């Protein structure tokens, strides 16, 4: 007997559906969509699952739930971001206690960040099959468990392997929170939630060294892991209160309930009828990002740019201690406080998000096109090398006031957000139909390249000299600065030649004028 698909039209965000199933009503309608590729699944009619209209009181409740989901999932991201860098607060302690080389200790950061890049390739498709909530719960629990061996480690191998597995497990919030926000917020209301999400991603790595520096100085390096372990445990409790937000999963559960209650096996969702086997889904998820990163110029060059920016952030976790601890004699705790400078720059850039949105709306008043997202990136492309030039020639000399490299940190944080948010938005708008794949490709390249930084940053600054190492980074930033300008001019032509990219064209005011004259 053919199955009857259940379609969904959500009047309110799907995050509330599983908790308020009494609001469901079944409506019968004629002429449902059929799956042309499989005639056996063609049906005579379908059931539309809709939500009843909500009262103002219900809408207030919905707003509270959305806000809670946003804060809770962003809190999970904060735990992951802090965990990636908190260990840099004391990199000497494990080296001395475990009698290992400094390079092995640096691998605790490298391996954790490598997990960021590998994890989403598996966890993203798993979340599409099983839902976001179970992936959050399981991944944070495993992150919690595999932080424990690091605190108890008796040798370098245990420390490094545990950090690698912890990073792999911890990547779920990084790849799922953006989707969760899209699940529960309408497009026009996502500005503040996305700003909170982005803020935790970038401020977390800056908070880590601040906390780790003081803990390492006062209680020893093992307590850095113990504090992280406790923090993750608190975050794990949060996962029990996060509802499922992915619409197909919510509907699938509703269909299962209807089949059980009615004894009628015909109740099926369209997603159940048309989805690929999980093995195929996983295969596509693993292969497509690599195809895009090899064949799509926008993905290639934006990923290279963002990989460089991300690498600079992790590079500063090791370069700041050289500038402040080695050269100026700051304690580990005071060196950690210097990362507040980067946080101030990040907050300054986030405060300008409304201005950026206004510029985007003005640029797209005749119709949206991806290249309109590049204005902040074009500004950041020249602010970033400025920050690195300042850092190179103020951080290198003891007689230069410590405010010099602090200022460079503020400018760096400001430029980083301009570049990152703008480039991410450009990738998403350019590949709206396969944005998740494009972002997975970018995340993989960014994380794997960024993970290599801890292995060479100390030898680089010590062997080349601080000022020349900083100068090299500034010149590299200057060399890639034209990338956003090139895509602003030629991006539309590049997209038109791609099978996957958006075909939205830029409509200029003069074009609108010509069109209106033609109509007259």
Flag whether 43 is in a domain: yes
Chain centroid to Cα 115, Å, comes to 14
pLDDT tens profile 247-281: 777 777 777 777 777 776 666 666 666 666 767 76
Q: Are residues 151 and 253 in the same domain?
A: no
Flag whether 46 is in a domain: yes
**Mean pLDDT (whole number) for 354-373:** 74
Q: Are residues 302 and 262 in the same domain?
A: no
Tokens standing for residue 373: 């997202």
The helix (run of H) or strand (run of E) holding residue 393 is helix 375-395
Between residues 391 and 287, which one has the greater pLDDT? 391
Report percent pLDDT > 70 for the chain. Answer: 78
Domain that holds residue 120: 84-243
Q: Are residues 333 and 206 in the same domain?
A: no
- pLDDT bracket for residue 483 (50, 70, 90): very high
In this structure, what CATH number is given to the domain that contains residue 460? 1.20.1250.20
Q: Are residues 263 and 239 in the same domain?
A: no
Flag whether 64 is in a domain: no
Between residues 396 and 26, which one has the greater pLDDT? 396
Q: Are residues 428 and 507 in the same domain?
A: yes
In the prediction, which pLDDT does 165 show? 93
Flag whether 268 is in a domain: yes
Mean pLDDT score of the chain, rounded to an integer? 78
In the prediction, which pLDDT does 439 show? 75
Q: Is the pLDDT of residue 357 over 70?
A: yes
Flag whether 75 is in a domain: no
**Mean pLDDT (whole number) for 2-31:** 37
Flag whether 282 is in a domain: no
Q: Cα–Cα distance between 136 and 166 in angstroms, integer?
A: 14
Least confident of 211-225, 297-311, 361-375: 361-375
pLDDT tens profile 81-103: 898 888 888 888 889 898 888 88
Flag whether 72 is in a domain: no
Q: Are residues 253 and 326 in the same domain?
A: no
CB of 145 closer than 8 Å to CB of 483: no
pLDDT tens profile 176-195: 787 787 778 775 576 678 77
- pLDDT bracket for residue 495 (50, 70, 90): confident
Q: Is the pLDDT of residue 135 over 60?
A: yes
Q: Are residues 132 and 20 in the same domain?
A: no
Q: Is the pLDDT of residue 382 over 90?
A: yes
Q: Is the pLDDT of residue 472 over 50?
A: yes
**Mean pLDDT (whole number) for 345-371:** 78
End residue of a domain, out of 274, 295, 330: 274
The DSSP secondary-structure symbol of 25 reads: E
Q: Is the pLDDT of residue 57 over 70?
A: no
**Mean pLDDT (whole number) for 193-206:** 81
**This prediction's pTM:** 0.75
Q: Are residues 147 and 221 in the same domain?
A: yes
* Alpha-carbon torsion, ordered 500, 503, 504, 510, to 10 deg: 150
Selection from 350, 349, 337, 330 nearest residue 387 by Cα: 349
End residue of a domain, out of 253, 274, 295: 274
Q: Residue 34 phi/psi, 5° resolution?
A: -120, 160
Q: Is the pLDDT of residue 9 over 90?
A: no
Q: Are residues 38 and 49 in the same domain?
A: yes
Flag whether 227 is in a domain: yes
- pLDDT bracket for residue 3 (50, 70, 90): very low
CB of 413 closer than 8 Å to CB of 466: no
Least confident of 35-39, 96-100, 207-211, 277-281: 35-39
Q: Are residues 447 and 417 in the same domain?
A: yes
Tokens standing for residue 192: 């503040």
Q: Are residues 256 and 234 in the same domain?
A: no
pLDDT tens profile 430-439: 876 666 677 7
Domain count, the chain: 3
Report percent pLDDT > 90 for the chain. Answer: 20
In the prediction, which pLDDT does 389 show? 94
Q: Are residues 225 and 115 in the same domain?
A: yes
């Amino acid at each position: 007997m053919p199955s009857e698909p259940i379609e969904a039209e959500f009047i309110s965000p799907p995050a509330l559906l599983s908790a308020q199933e009494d609001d469901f009503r079944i409506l019968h309608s004629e002429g449902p969509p059929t799956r042309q590729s499989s005639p056996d699944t063609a049906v005579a009619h379908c059931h539309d699952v809709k939500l009843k209209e909500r009262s103002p009181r219900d809408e207030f409740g919905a707003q509270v739930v959305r806000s809670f989901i946003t804060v809770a999932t962003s809190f999970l991201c904060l735990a992951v971001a802090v965990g990636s860098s908190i260990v840099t607060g004391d990199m000497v302690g494990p080296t001395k206690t475990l009698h290992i080389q400094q390079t092995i200790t640096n691998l605790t950061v490298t391996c954790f960040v490598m997990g960021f890049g590998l994890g989403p390739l598996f966890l993203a498709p798993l979340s599409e099959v099983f839902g976001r909530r179970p992936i959050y719960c399981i991944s944070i629990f495993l992150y919690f468990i595999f932080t424990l061996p690091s605190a108890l480690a008796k040798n370098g191998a245990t420390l490094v392997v545990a950090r690698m597995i912890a990073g792999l497990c911890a990547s779920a919030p990084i790849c799922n929170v953006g989707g969760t926000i899209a699940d529960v917020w309408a497009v026009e209301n996502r500005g503040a939630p996305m700003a909170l999400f982005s803020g935790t991603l970038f401020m977390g790595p800056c908070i880590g060294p601040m906390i780790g520096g003081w803990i390492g100085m006062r209680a020893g390096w093992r307590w850095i892991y113990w504090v992280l372990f406790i923090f993750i445990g608190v975050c794990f409790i949060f996962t029990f209160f996060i509802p499922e937000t992915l619409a197909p999963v919510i509907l699938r559960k509703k269909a299962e309930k209807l089949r059980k209650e009615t004894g009628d096996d015909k109740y099926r969702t369209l997603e159940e009828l048309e989805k690929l086997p999980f093995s195929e889904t996983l295969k596509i998820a693993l292969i497509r990002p690599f195809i895009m990163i090899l064949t799509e110029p926008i993905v290639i060059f934006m990923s290279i740019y963002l990989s460089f920016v991300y690498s600079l952030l992790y590079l500063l976790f090791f370069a700041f201690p050289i500038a402040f601890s080695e050269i100026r004699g700051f304690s580990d705790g005071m060196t950690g406080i210097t990362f507040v400078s980067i946080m101030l720059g990040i907050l300054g850039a986030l405060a300008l998000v409304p201005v950026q949105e206004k510029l985007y709306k003005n640029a797209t008043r005749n119709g949206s096109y991806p290249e309109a997202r590049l204005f902040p990136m074009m500004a950041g492309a020249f602010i970033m090398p400025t920050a690195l030039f300042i850092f190179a020639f103020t951080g290198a000399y003891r007689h230069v006031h410590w405010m010099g490299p602090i200022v460079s940190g503020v400018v760096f944080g400001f430029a980083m957000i301009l570049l990152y948010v703008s480039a991410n938005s450009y990738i998403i708008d350019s590949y709206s139909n396969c944005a998740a794949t494009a972002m997975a490709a970018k995340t993989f390249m960014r994380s794997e390249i960024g993970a290599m930084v801890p292995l060479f940053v100390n030898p680089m600054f010590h062997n080349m000299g601080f000022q020349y190492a900083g100068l090299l980074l500034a010149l590299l930033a200057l060399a890639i600065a034209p990338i956003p300008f090139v895509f602003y001019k030629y991006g539309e032509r590049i997209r038109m030649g791609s099978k996957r990219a958006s075909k939205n064209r830029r409509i200029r005011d003069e074009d609108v004028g010509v069109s209106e004259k033609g109509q007259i």
